[in-house]
Chains A and B, each alone.
Chain A
Amino acid sequence: MEEDERWKRPTPERTQPIRNWSTILGANGETARAPHSNPTPAGGPDPVSRAVELGYRVIDEYIRQGQNAARRFSEGGMNGGALTATWQDAATRMAQLSGEWMGLWLELAQRAAGSAGMPGAGPAARAFSAPFTTPTAPPEASPLRSGPAASARVRLQVSSARPTEVTLDLRPECTATTLVVHSLRAVDPNLPRISDVGFTPAANDQPAVLTIRVAPEHPAGTYSAVIVDAKTNRPAGTVSVTVADHA
């Protein structure tokens, strides 16, 4: 290079940001894949894609919770009375949620211990021990697993021969009397759907029941579906089921 020659930047590979509708909102599932990544192999998503997808789920849920908290603050304004009411409301709802989930775990644990004939598997001991819902183990308490809002109590009934994790995310304003869910689908279109799934509406002070049955031969993977409010025909939440690949 001549001494008086000016240094120049190399020609950039791109001159504009990558704008992709599928990732603009920090989407998950198929949309979480990077624009230039390889297509999913036929055997299911590769570990990297699964990790990125899981990462988006974790961070989007975290951000959503933060935004909800911020919204509660802004709706309550900055006066002490409103804030107190907001916190009292939140505490009441937390207590309700805890009670509902505790009841659910105990019920599942009792059923699991009974059906599998597990000696010494006390319900309270088992209730917090497993991340997946299985015939022999109820779900573990996890902050990532969204419980239903106080206005829509939902009981889960999961039947699966293998470890299965269920994430239910319902919008706070939805009601449990008119919820509908169709088959759960995986990102990979070649994987069969989980079609044995349905809501029993809430009635007589009993919560709605979401029943999910996973066939023993069903391929491992994550399957999701939108929950629709039949009254308004609008989305009311999502349900996601992850079936592990080992017994």
Chain B
Amino acid sequence: MQAAATGDFIAAMLDEYGELTRVALCDYLQPQEPRRHLYNLVAEYPQRGGRMLRPSLCIATARAFGGSLDDALRTAVALELLHNAFLVHDDVEDESDERRGRPTLNALHGAPVAVNVGDALTLMGLRALLDNRNRLGPWLSMQLLEETERMARESIEGQAIELGWRRDNALHLSEADYLQMVLKKTCWYTTIYPSRTGALIGTGSAIDSARFVRFGFFLGAAFQIQDDLLNLRGNPQRYGKEINGDIWEGKRTLILIHLLRVCSDAERSWLAEFLRQPRQARATADVERVRRGMD
């Protein structure tokens, strides 16, 4: 009973921080020219909603360490802008069709326009971080920029690992390989960076960074594994992404890695051929066969 009440309280608090971030985000998404091929599209993903998990975690951590909400708000906004920039580029790289219940930007407007929109969102995120200078001072603002550079680098490296697996059709991956990829690709920007920057803001910079890496890794890995599972059996309306999309894209999820390890040699050969094909060449029946194998 008490645990449920605590859970409700945390959810309500994160919702509140998310809503405040959403409002502050509007400062950076003002309509301006050129609208049709840039600024209207820049606002597209943020306006589609989203859980605001990352900014909420940043603000909550800052407050837990004694900071004020206003101290953390610009960093939270930057995080959400950068997250949306990653999503736009991610959709292009994965050739995804659906994001937050609607067609992706690349599906609607083509990859060149979508990539440019992603670049714009990245720069807007940097703008929000630079705006920290007035409230937090130059030293702490520079610390936050350095944290952001580290986070972006780790995320890009993680993305490179995963894209490489798909490009090279890697079949013999271990759980440790998966966790290392998730650490870089997901954990850094979903949990490690928000909690580290929140603590930096709350304390004025005195944190034990390794502890936050460890905490964020376990939290982020749990988040990613749950996301992998929701991709297979989530509610399409609530999940917001294409069900079985990871199979269509040949993503090396923990479930696929496990399937590749335990299936028979004949099944593995068939899977290798399936994964070697480009997304467009994969058939619905084959995707369903992989899905059944995962059960």
Contact = CB atoms under 8 A, between A and B. Distances in A.
B176 A62 contact: no
B210 A63 contact: yes
B183 A62 contact: yes
Given A26-B214, A55-B221, A63-B210, A140 B172 contact: yes
B93 interface: no
Interface string A28-58: 0000000000000000000000010011011
B292 to A, nearest CB: 20
Contacts, number: 55
Contacts of B172: 129-132, 137, 140
B213 A142 contact: no
B30 interface: no
Contacts of A143: 180
A54 B179 contact: yes
A244 interface: yes
A118 B174 CA distance: 24
Interface in B163-180: 170-177, 179-180
A18 interface: no
Contacts of B179: 54-55, 58
Given A63-B210, A132-B172, 11 more contacts: A26-B214, A54-B175, A54-B176, A54-B179, A58-B179, A59-B218, A131-B172, A132-B174, A137-B172, A142-B177, A144-B176
Interface residues of A, number: 24
Contact of A57 (B173, B176, B210): B176
B177 A144 contact: yes
A246 B180 contact: no
A246 B177 contact: no
Given A129-B171, A246-B262, A58 B213 contact: no
B189 interface: no
Given A58-B183, A62-B183, A246-B261, A142 B214 contact: no
A142 B179 CA distance: 12
Contact of A165 (B174, B180, B183, B214): B174
B125 to A, nearest CB: 24
A59 B214 contact: yes
A68 B171 CA distance: 31
B21 to A, nearest CB: 28
How many chain B residues sit at the interface, stated as a range, is 20 to 34
A10 interface: yes
Contact of A63 (B170, B214, B218): B214
Interface of A: 10, 26, 51, 54-55, 57-59, 62-63, 66-67, 129-132, 137, 140, 142-144, 165, 244, 246
A70 to B, nearest CB: 10
A10 B171 contact: no
A137 B261 CA distance: 14
Contact of A51 (B171, B175, B177, B210): B175
8 contacts: A26-B214, A54-B176, A54-B179, A55-B218, A63-B214, A130-B172, A131-B172, A137-B172
A63 B213 contact: yes
B180 A144 contact: yes
B17 interface: no
A140 B171 CA distance: 10
Contacts of A54: 175-176, 179
Interface string B193-225: 000000000000000001001100110010000
